[in-house]
Amino acid sequence: MNARERVLASLDHRQPDRIAFDLGGHGSTTLHVSCVQQLREHYRLPDEPVTTLSVAFMIAIIPDDLAERMGVDTAAAFPRGGAFGIPREDYKLWTNPDGQQIRVPGAFNPTPDGEGGWFVHPQGDTSCPPSGHMPTRSPYFDNIEPKVEFDEDNPNPADNVEEYSVLGEQDLQFIARSVEAAYRTGRAVVLTAPGTVLGSADGITGTGLRHPKGIRRIEEWYMSPLIRPDYVREVFDRQTDIALINLRNINDACGGKIDVVHVCSNDFGHQTGQFVRTTTFRKIWTPYYRKMNDWIHANTKWKTLKHCCGAVVPLIPCFIEAGFDALNPVQISAAEMDPARLKREFGRDIVFWGGGVDAQKVLPFGSPDEVRRQVLENCEIFGRDGGFVFCPTHNVQRGVPIENIVAMIEAVHEFNGGRPGALPLDPAKGREAL
């Protein structure tokens, strides 16, 4: 099998020749820019600035030479619009607080906060109040909630849909080029769809809008499905209609070269439980995600990916009912998220795209041998009968020891029987290694 066939077999719940491996396929399976630089040094690749996928999280686009060296099976495609409404174009060099020169979008124009940190502004417009803040010694930008009061007496759902629109020709061409570049790698193409995330905490603050209106406080938004359900439904109705137009136009432009669409990155779980009840999810979210997923499955060959951190065992049946094919990141460090249980109870109905190694404790704080052993164990559990794409339980963060990152990569290939491309999957070897 080649890389694309391997991922597609896994998504069809067929046993691939070896475990499919994702690192950098989308914005929740990649690495901090500092980790990518360290990997380039480790693999003795040419010294060149790392390109950001998101300036908010300072995560990287994985370059082809590194992806090939690591032996990953996925390639990322993404829309033009990025964090804080800043388009991914006209890249320039910027020196981050660690002293690392990285490539950032041309409209990324951070301003000092006067205390050693940085502000970022919507669409790079420094005449607007900042919408993100990188505190001193922090590697990331936090969203700033805008000081917007919701007019309870005159609610207008259009205010909360302002950031969504039908893609213009420039945006469609950008996606088509991104998809084409990913397709040429021969790996499975994972497109992060624009505007399909419904009501996420990351997006609700409207950080890309110069003058946001509507409900923009996170606490207020999370109460709204209970106290303003009709308002939320109207927002989701309008957003879904726009999303379906965009999905259709993307399919017309380059759909035959896309394998997986990352539809939703909204977190409904936390470390010990869920943010919403299953009844609320089914009433408020399921109809709209079902509509998107049904359209995709009826009109394309794409598989759909749902990202959701946290302890989400009660919600997994909801994700399945909503039509998602795969779940990421499979946070095995959260309550009740035992790999064996997940595979036993849900492995026939949804693909586990993640859960390969705990990125919260083991990967950053364990020893290389502890990382290796967890990778081998979880590949054994999740890899039976397909339905598994290996990746950590979230992005690899700044400060994770390079030895642990390499141990993770090497353990996947150890389970698979050797270095990438060397041997087909031999599960017995993975078991023996344990």
Has residue 100 been placed in a domain? Answer: no
Determine the Cα–Cα distance for residues 156 and 15; give it in Å rounded to an integer: 50
Q: What is the CATH number of the domain that holds 194?
A: 3.20.20.210
Tokens of 143: 């969203």
pTM: 0.95
Tokens of 428: 């017995």
Determine the Cα–Cα distance for residues 11 and 351; give it in Å rounded to an integer: 6
Has residue 134 been placed in a domain? Answer: no
Has residue 119 been placed in a domain? Answer: no
The 10s digit of each residue's pLDDT in 405-417 is: 999 999 999 999 9
Q: Over 90: is that where the pLDDT of 371 sits?
A: yes
Do residues 3 and 188 touch, judged by C-beta distance below 8 A? yes
Has residue 374 been placed in a domain? Answer: yes
Give the rounded distance of the alpha carbon of 336 from its chain centre: 22
Domain tally, the chain: 1
Determine the Cα–Cα distance for residues 220 and 212; give it in Å rounded to an integer: 15
Type of residue at 321: E
Has residue 161 been placed in a domain? Answer: yes
Tokens of 212: 């946001």
Do residues 215 and 150 touch, judged by C-beta distance below 8 A? yes
Which structural domain, as residue segments, surrounds residue 315? 3-32+61-84+148-433
The 10s digit of each residue's pLDDT in 300-348 is: 999 999 999 999 999 999 999 999 999 999 999 999 999 999 999 999 9
Strands 118-120 and 132-134: antiparallel
Determine the average pLDDT of the residues in 70-80. 98
Q: Over 60: is that where the pLDDT of 432 sits?
A: no
* Structure confidence at residue 289 as a pLDDT band (50, 70, 90): very high
Percent of the chain with pLDDT over 90: 94
Determine the Cα–Cα distance for residues 78 and 293; give it in Å rounded to an integer: 19
Category of 396 on φ-ψ map: left (φ > 0), alpha (ψ -120 to 50) or beta: beta
Tokens of 269: 């779980």
Bond into 49 cis (ω within 30) = no
Has residue 125 been placed in a domain? Answer: no
Q: To the nearest whole number, what is the mean pLDDT of the chain?
A: 95
Q: Over 70: is that where the pLDDT of 419 sits?
A: no
* Structure confidence at residue 395 as a pLDDT band (50, 70, 90): very high
Do residues 189 and 258 touch, judged by C-beta distance below 8 A? yes
Has residue 129 been placed in a domain? Answer: no
Type of residue at 416: N
Strands 303-307 and 326-328: parallel
Percent of the chain with pLDDT over 70: 96
Has residue 276 been placed in a domain? Answer: yes
Cβ-based burial of 303 (10 A; exposed 0-12, middle 13-18, buried ≥19): buried
Residue 78's closest CA among 201, 171, 217? 171
Give the rounded distance of the alpha carbon of 175 from its chain centre: 17
Starting at the edge strand found earlier in the chain, the sheet holding 59-60 runs 59-60, 50-54, 101-104, 92-95
